[in-house]
Copies of this chain bind each other. A is one copy, B any other.
Amino acid sequence: MAAAKEIPYKIYLKESEMPETWYNVRADMKNKPAPLLNPGTHEPMKAEELAPVFCEELIAQELDNETRNVPIPQEILDFYKMYRPSPLVRAYCLEEKLGTPAKIYYKFEGNNTSGSHKLNSAIAQAYYAKNQGLKGVTTETGAGQWGTALSMACAYLGLDCKVYMVKVSYEQKPFRREVMRTYGASVTPSPSMETNIGREINARFPGTTGSLGCAISEAVEVAVGTPGYRYVLGSVLNQVLLHQSVIGLEAKAALDKYGIVPDVIIGCAGGGSNLGGLISPFMGEKLRGERDYRIVAVEPASCPSFTRGRFAYDFCDTGKVCPLAKMYTLGSGFIPAPNHAGGLRYHGMSSILSQLYHDGYMEAISVPQTAVFEAAEYFARCEGILPAPESSHAIRAAIDEAVKCRETGKEETILFGLTGTGYFDMVAYEKFHDGKMTDYIPTDEELAKSFEGLPKIG
C-alpha cells in the first residue's frame, strides 16, 4: 500500500484548476464528421432549417467544426461547481483483488443526483434554451438518466420540461419518474397516444416496449408543435460531445498533476456522450500526433452499432422526422431486446466517434449482458460504488484488460469512465441475482433486415 501514499485514492481538482472552456475535438479532425442532411432533399442542413427543433446557440455549436476551445458561460461554470469536479479515483481495491500489476483509474460521474454524467450537457442545453427566452424543452429518455439530469437543470433555471420515456424503462424504473417529478418535470411513457407518431407506432407495433428512436420522434413532434419549446437531446449530437468534454478535460488535468499517462482509455458507448467526452482531450493529442493512446469503446452485444453496424447515413429516430446523420448504425428500425437493462439501447452512434472509429483512431468491442453484471457486482463489492449497467460495460472491459496485464506482467495504466450509479437498476440486478438474466445477441439475419431500412443517399 506504499503507492497509496503517492497517488491519493481520489484526485480532486481545486475550483481554480477546473476547465473554463470545452474542447471541440472536431477542430483537430482532418476528416470532419459528415454533416446532418435534410431528410427530404438530402442536402446538408442549414442553421435556419434546424431552428424550429433546436435552440439557436446549440445549432451554432452543432455546426462549428473549427473552434477548438469554447468558453463555458459563467452561469454554467457556477452550476458545475455544485457537483464538479468529479473525482478521479485510483481503484486500489480492485487492483488488489484482481492481483494485477495494472494501475486502474476511473473518472466517476455518478456523484450528483441525476446519477450520471448527463448533467454536464443538460445544464448547458437548458441554459441556452433559457437564454433564448424559451418557455420549456422536450426530450426523450431511455434509462432515465438524461431525463433526470434535464429535469434538475430545468428546475434550477425555471424552465418547463416534458420528458418522453422509453416504455420499457418507464415500467422497469417506476421511481425514476418520481425523481423527475420532484424536479417538476412531466413524464410520459413512449410510444404514447399523445402524438401522431406515437399513435402510429402503437398501431403498427401493438404492445411495443418502445425505443429511444420512438421517444425522440415524439419529443421532436411536441417541440415543433408547441410555441416557446425546443427539443434537446442527451447524446449522439456534436454539441453534447462538446459539453461532455469537461469529463476528459478534468480527468486529464488530474492525471497531469501527478504525471500519469494512461496507456488505454475505456468508455461505454450508447450514443457516445460519455465516451466522446472522456476521450476528447486525449484524442486531441492523438489527432495532433503529440501522443498515442489506445482508446476502446465498449458496447452491448445486444446493440452493437460499432462492431456490427454499417457506417452510413441513417435516420436518428424511428419516426424519421429528424435530420439524417452519418454514423455507425444498426438501422433506425432496430429495437433492442426489452430484457436488456438500462441505456445503450440506441441504434446509432455519434457522428464524431463514428468518423474517428472509421479512420482507425479507436477500437470497439461488444460484451454480453450477464458478463457486464458479473463485473458490476465484482466492482461494487470491492470499490463500494454500485455502478449503472451502462457504466459496467466499461468496468467489464477494464477488468479484462487488467487480467491480461496479470498474465503478461505489463504495468499498464488503465483509465475508464464510470458514468453513473445503478440505484434505479435494481430490477435488473434482481434478475441477475435470481439467474433470470439472459444474453440477447441479434442474428445476422435480423441485422440484414434492419439494414434494408437505411435511406439511399447519393
- Which residue numbers of A lie inside 8 Å of B, CB to CB? 1, 4, 8-10, 12, 14-15, 78, 81-83, 89, 93, 111-113, 115, 152, 155-156, 174-175, 178-179, 181-184, 377, 380-386, 421, 423-424, 426-427, 429-430, 433
Contacts and interface: CB of A to CB of B under 8 A. Distances in A.
A384 B1 contact: no
B93 A182 contact: no
A433 B377 contact: no
A156 B382 contact: yes
B184 A429 contact: no
Contacts of A383: 82
Contact of A182 (B12, B174, B377): B377
Contacts of A83: 384
Contact of A81 (B9, B113, B433): B9
B384 A10 contact: no
B178 A433 contact: yes
**Listed residue (A183, A384, A386, A429) with the most chain B CB atoms within 10 angstroms of its CB:** A384
A179 B93 contact: no
Given A112-B384, A182-B381, 11 more contacts: A4-B81, A8-B15, A9-B81, A113-B385, A113-B421, A115-B423, A156-B381, A178-B433, A182-B380, A182-B386, A183-B380
Contacts of A175: 175, 423, 426-427, 430
A8 B81 contact: yes
B386 A433 contact: no
Contacts of A427: 175
A382 B8 CA distance: 31
29 contacts: A4-B81, A8-B15, A8-B81, A9-B81, A9-B82, A82-B89, A82-B93, A93-B156, A111-B111, A112-B384, A113-B380, A113-B384, A113-B385, A152-B384, A156-B382, A175-B175, A175-B423, A175-B426, A178-B430, A178-B433, A179-B426, A181-B433, A182-B377, A182-B380, A182-B381, A182-B433, A183-B380, A423-B423, A423-B424
A433 B179 CA distance: 11
A181 B373 CA distance: 13
A182 B425 CA distance: 12
B178 A426 contact: yes
A94 B280 CA distance: 34
Contacts of A81: 4, 8-10
A181 B426 CA distance: 10
A67 to B, nearest CB: 27
A297 B113 CA distance: 26
